[in-house]
Amino acid sequence: MSRNDLNFEIVQTKTISAPSFKINGITVHSVYDPISEAQKWAAQVMDRINSEGIPDKIMIFGFGAGYHIKALIDFLKKDNKEIKIEVIEPAKESFEFIKNNFDVSELTSKINIMVLDRISEKSYSDASAVFQRLELELDKGIILFCELPPYKKIFSEEYALIHKLHGINQFFTPSSFRVLVVQPMYGGSSTIGNYLYSALLNLGYDAKILDFSKFYDVYKYMGVFTPNEDHVNSLKQSLVDLMSEALLSSVFNEPPDLVIFMAQSPASERTLLKLKSMGIKTAYWFVEDFRTLTYWNTIVKNVDYFFTIQKDDFFAELKNIGADNYYYLPLACLPDFHKKINEINEDDRIKYGSDVSFAGMGYYNRKNVFAQLVDFNFKIWGTDWYVGLPLSLLIQDGGKRFTEEEAVKIYNYSKININLHSSMWHWDINPNGDFLNPRVYEILACGGFQLVDRRKYMDGVFEDGKDLVVFDTVDDLRKKIKYYLANEEERLSIAAHGRETVVKNHTYERRIREMMNIILLDSYEQIKSKLETRKQNISELLKETEGNKELHDLIMQFSDKKSLSIRDMAESIKSGKGRLSKSEAMILMLWAIKAKLVKLEGL
């Protein structure tokens, strides 16, 4: 259904004071007695409340002329029940028609209304926004979902999306979902993987991380054995294959529900196919420039979900090779880590502070640009800065690698943080740059003032002159450095607003929610069935074990949880002290058997 094909028609009913209307020929309310129909609808909702329990919120799909909503409010008032009501109107056009033809002003003041812009179930980027706007937080709050029946037919795609989002909110709890983050041996994506893992824990996911950084020294050492480049590459590939096998070994005992691979982590075709055969979903976050690193074309075909920090040209390339599992997911910050330093440490201020700073690797274009800034009080941090005088005088700590903790100090103590995106081909500034690097978000989250080269994907995300300041040329950069060093109040104001924007809208916790919305919507039935099969309701377990006091008391320890698995109990028992009871020994034995069976199935 296109956005412009909604037709509306007022329909007189036998109840003169309560007209109905049609949308595309489908009547929204009874043409005989809309008020009586509305009261019957509201009574059915009340029956659900009385049988299912009082919800935190009632969500109604379809505003219509509001008769059913008014009837429900009257019933709730009569029963002294105060429940928040939220109504979803699936199209701007229909809501405008309703406001212009029906007196609903008093009713709209009593409820929350969300008007959608005709989205469909497959509009995943929109779905994430809808999830946020509906104030749906996974594992928080009970929502009673109901609909105005004709709306289910008229807006079938919108209904399917909202119904599924509601279902996810009700059945899915992060603590019951197992996620494994797989790191590469080295590189910036490893750091991003650490932030992602921390955010997963912050959101309550049952998360683990597989860090292959310890293999990096061995990987580099391969060149010692032979000068033959082909042999060295063969040895390195053997090491990557070994890491893939290690990954499979780690998931056999405790299979996760989702494995998230970071860019350049070991993800061979065999490994990905084996995970798929075990019913484990796989996602790959390609936090790289697709034009520079092209191995993505062998990865995207073998993972369930492929997330990128670029779209447009990259999406065209992905489409050309027949992929349809790709989604745009930009980078972010971790506010627990990237934060403003409020208590000034004088030693740190002296070491890390400067008028102007840059923290990052010495790419070709950066060397050329920064050589024109040597007259400023400028500190450069990072590796690969093989340069001559006078630029070499600006390199800090002998060009050693800085830690992420040090980066936070640099961003905090520098008056101006330059963020020039890397390029191996441009002399200075890439005029067609698109994606935003991690530094964009991290500097802002630390409350740092940022001068950044113009990027395509910045439009509509951050506002130039309000959140950060954009430069287009080296001359422009020089002028803006001078201006903002001389205008401290304006500089601090921009930095403060930028921090507010990024912490509100661009955190790794938010990216996880966006990622999981996509995965849960796409694999709704499979994941729902898997989680429901795995878990037993605590109350049912307690009832079933009333005749076994020892086991009953053991389960009672988890009474604050919605559900429970053998794994939960086994891990709790293993962390305890003292002699095992008969029931505890039995639980550990069952868990050990299950782990063995999973391993055998994976062979």
Per residue in 557-593, pLDDT (tens digit) is 776 665 566 777 777 787 776 778 888 888 888 777 7
The pLDDT tens digits of the residues spanning 378-408 come to: 999 999 999 999 999 999 999 999 999 999 9
Strand-pairing partners, residue 452, are 419, 470
Nearest to 491 by CA among 455, 535, 537, 448: 448
The pLDDT tens digits of the residues spanning 67-118 come to: 999 999 999 999 999 999 999 999 999 999 999 999 999 999 999 998 887 5
Q: What is the pLDDT of residue 594?
A: 63
Q: Residue 596 — very low, low, confident or very high, per pLDDT cuts 50/70/90?
A: low
Q: Range with the lowest mean pLDDT among 172-181, 221-230, 242-251, 334-343?
A: 221-230
Instruction: Phi first, then psi: give them for residue 250, nearest 5 degrees.
Output: -70, -30
Taking the C-alpha atoms of residue 319 and residue 160, their distance in angstroms, rounded to an integer, is: 26
Of 578 and 360, the one with more pLDDT: 360
Instruction: Phi first, then psi: give them for residue 418, nearest 5 degrees.
Output: -85, 135
Taking the C-alpha atoms of residue 394 and residue 415, their distance in angstroms, rounded to an integer, is: 16
| Average of per-residue pLDDT across 407-412 | 98
The answer for residues whose C-beta is within 8 angstroms of residue 266's C-beta and 6 or more apart is 182, 184, 212, 240, 241, 243, 244, 247
Residue 88 near residue 116, CB atoms below 8 Å: yes
R_g over Cα of the chain: 29
pLDDT score of 219 more than 90: no
Sheet holding 450-453, edge to edge: 378-381, 354-359, 414-419, 450-453, 469-471
The answer for residues whose C-beta is within 8 angstroms of residue 542's C-beta and 6 or more apart is 552, 555, 556, 559
Taking the C-alpha atoms of residue 506 and residue 208, their distance in angstroms, rounded to an integer, is: 23
Token pair of 585 as six digits:
């020994």
Beta-carbon count within 10 A of 175 CB: 15
User: pTM of the entire structure?
Assistant: 0.81
Q: What is the pLDDT of residue 574?
A: 78
Q: What is the pLDDT of residue 505?
A: 93
| CA pseudo-torsion sign 389, 391, 395, 401 | negative
| Average of per-residue pLDDT across 167-174 | 83
Helix (H, G, I), strand (E, B) or coil at 380: strand
Q: What is the pLDDT of residue 215?
A: 81
Q: What is the pLDDT of residue 493?
A: 98
560-574 residues labelled b (16+ CB within 10 A) or e (exposed): eeebbbebbbbeebe
As a three-state string, the secondary structure of 153-220 is HHCHHHHHHHHHHHHHHHHCCHHHCEEEEECCCCCHHHHHHHHHHHHHHHCCCEEEEECCHHHHHHHH
Q: Residue 121 — very low, low, confident or very high, per pLDDT cuts 50/70/90?
A: very low
Place of tokens 């005992």: 253
The answer for residues whose C-beta is within 8 angstroms of residue 194's C-beta and 6 or more apart is 183, 209
Q: What is the pLDDT of residue 119?
A: 59
Q: What is the mean pLDDT of the chain?
A: 89
Nearest to 520 by CA among 86, 57, 179: 179
Instruction: Phi first, then psi: give them for residue 207, nearest 5 degrees.
Output: -115, 145
Q: What is the pLDDT of residue 603?
A: 41
Q: What is the pLDDT of residue 446?
A: 98
Domains of the chain in start order, with CATH, are 8-171 (3.40.50), 174-328 (3.40.50.2000), 346-506 (3.40.50.2000), 537-602 (no CATH)
Nearest to 255 by CA among 561, 530, 555, 588: 530
Q: For the chain, how are helix, strand and coil distributed in percent, rounded to 5?
A: 50, 15, 35
Residue 165 near residue 521, CB atoms below 8 Å: yes
CA distances, 313 to each of 26, 320, 458 (Å): 42, 11, 16
Q: What percent of the chain has pLDDT over 90?
A: 65
Q: Residue 138 — very low, low, confident or very high, per pLDDT cuts 50/70/90?
A: low
Q: What percent of the chain has pLDDT over 70?
A: 91
For the chain, how long is the longest CA-to-CA vector?
A: 93
Q: What is the pLDDT of residue 133?
A: 58
Taking the C-alpha atoms of residue 25 and residue 159, their distance in angstroms, rounded to an integer, is: 18
Sheet holding 26-27, edge to edge: 8-11, 20-23, 26-27
Residue 141 near residue 57, CB atoms below 8 Å: yes
